[in-house]
Amino acid sequence: MTVDYEYLQQLINSGKKIEALRCAVALMQKGSPSCNLWFELSMACLEIGERDAGMEGLIESGKQFARTGNLPMALVALRIVEEQKGDSEDLKNLIVQLYQKGSQRIRHTTMPVPPLPVTISEKELEAIPLDRNRLIEEAKRVLVATKEAINLERSIQEKEPFLPFFPLFSSLQGENFIELASCFVPKRFSANEIIIKQGDWPDEFYLIASGEVKIFTHGKAEDSPGKTSQMSLKHIATLGPGAFIGEMGIVAKAPRSATVQGVTSGFLLATPIEKIENLAGKIPEIAEIIVAFCEVRLMENVLSGSAVFLPIEPQKRDSALEFFDRLFIPAGEVLIQEGESAKGIYIIVSGEAAVVKTKVPNINLDEKHSDNPSLIYITTLKSGDVAGEISTIMKKPATATVYAITDLSLLFLPANRFLEFTRAYPASFQKLYEVVALREEEIQNMLSRNEILST
């Protein structure tokens, strides 16, 4: 068995406090000073009741996180010190000084390069007795030695602090910076833990402070002969420290579009969306930053994932975007009416829309939910999905109605620009033609299934 930082996390998550303390001491003795191990050793001391040693270690490791550019973990340390009612002023002032608006930026990368992992053998770990008193004394000695070593290293190197830019934080002035930071609560997560579940309604969003998570979507795969339906999984991304997850819940107002699961153990900074919204209502600067940040993320997702932009070379997608208008449609409004020509092609940026067919002509669409007996539900469109492509490309009346389930943010390509767009980006036209074929097949399958169920 290899004993490393992840093994330490497993001990912590399983509530083995003394074993975790021994593991943290052993790892700290083995390697060069590590902020993460320093932090965890301090937490282990705090967990077994050694408050003074634990609090000092948290404050000092938090300062070192801040100086080395790891704002998320610096904030984790700060928030834990505040929760424990410790003296957080020095740490808070340092963080504000380094990260508030106007600070000089040394580099613009997201996070500093993490140190090489420290590993020891099981034999080396077991060489340290599980004696509480001896472990406490050794932990205190290691904490003091680490602080001295870090201070000595700083005095020799005399380097400027590493200051990456962090959305939502770095653009704020001091008081607003701290008020926003105070909304976040540190949360541990473990490997394989589900942090966000696709389909759930968003209530929190997170900043990854340490560890890694993976993002994936799942849907029902087609039945195969002799087999029952299974869930198909699509990996979207693996994210690490400094990344935000779940932030689309602030603007999308729709169920989660993907699942987020821990790859390793780590820390999150979590905040209720409602709390952020209330703060944004009080401090306009925060509202502007959140809207701008989410807007950029939404557009990045659409440009990299929509069938319209996917065939276009990444460096040309911004130019292609100039053909489109931005639209904002309230929930309940009809985008495309069955039997009428679509005004163009719509790409959903955020929100959800339903595609339905009517069983009888001139139906009142006031009741547009999926269990309306007068409607045949076809599918739900989400971020990146396209609507209006059948009518626009085939130059015929729309074969289904599309309406907004939630408020929608859209990209709109008017029909009178479509020809010019396809001449400029023929690969996109080919992809759209494939989407048309699939959509018509999907509609026909749903109609056939509905006829079978009706007989």
Over residues 273-299, the pLDDT tens digits come to 899 889 988 888 888 888 788 888 888
- Rg, the chain, Cα only: 27
Q: Which long-range contacts (CB under 8 A, 24 or more apart) does 93-98 make?
A: 94/63, 94/66, 94/67, 95/62, 95/66, 95/71, 95/181, 96/174, 96/177, 96/178, 98/66, 98/67, 98/161, 98/163
- The predicted structure's pLDDT at residue 43: 95
Q: What is the largest CA-CA distance in the chain?
A: 84
For the segment(s) 183-220+232-305, the CATH number from 3.40.50.1970, 2.60.120.280, 2.60.120.10, 3.90.79.10 is 2.60.120.10
447, pLDDT greater than 90: no
Residue-averaged pLDDT of the chain: 84
Cα-Cα-Cα-Cα torsion 36, 42, 48, 51, nearest 10 degrees, comes to: -150
Nearest to 233 by CA among 210, 258, 256, 253: 258
**Chain centre to alpha carbon of residue 46:** 30
Between helix 35-47 and helix 5-13 the angle, nearest 10°, is 20
Percent of the chain with pLDDT over 70: 85
Residue 115 has what DSSP assignment?
P
For the segment(s) 314-454, the CATH number from 2.60.120.10, 2.40.50.140, 2.40.128.260, 3.40.50.2300 is 2.60.120.10
Rounded distance between C-alpha atoms, residue 305 and residue 282, angstroms = 35
State the amino acid at position 95 in one-letter form: I
The sign of the CA dihedral 161, 162, 167, 171 is: positive
pLDDT one-digit tens code per residue, 93-124? 999 988 877 666 555 455 555 555 688 899 99
Where does the chain hold its CATH 2.60.120.10 domain(s)? 183-220+232-305, 314-454
pLDDT one-digit tens code per residue, 41-90? 999 999 999 999 999 999 999 999 998 888 999 999 999 999 999 899 99
pLDDT one-digit tens code per residue, 367-404? 555 556 677 888 889 888 999 988 898 888 998 899 99
Nearest to 268 by CA among 247, 289, 290, 291: 247
Rounded distance between C-alpha atoms, residue 250 and residue 272, angstroms = 10
**pTM (2 decimals)?**
0.77
- The predicted structure's pLDDT at residue 228: 42
For residue 240, give both structure tokens: 């690490």
If you search the block for the tokens 């948290």, which residue do you land on? 58
pLDDT one-digit tens code per residue, 223-274? 444 444 455 787 888 999 888 898 877 766 678 878 999 999 999 999 998 9
Rounded to an integer, the average pLDDT of 346-356 is 90
CB 291 within 8 A of CB 298: no
Rounded distance between C-alpha atoms, residue 26 and residue 84, angstroms = 26
Rounded to an integer, the average pLDDT of 27-54 is 90
DSSP SS3 for 214: strand
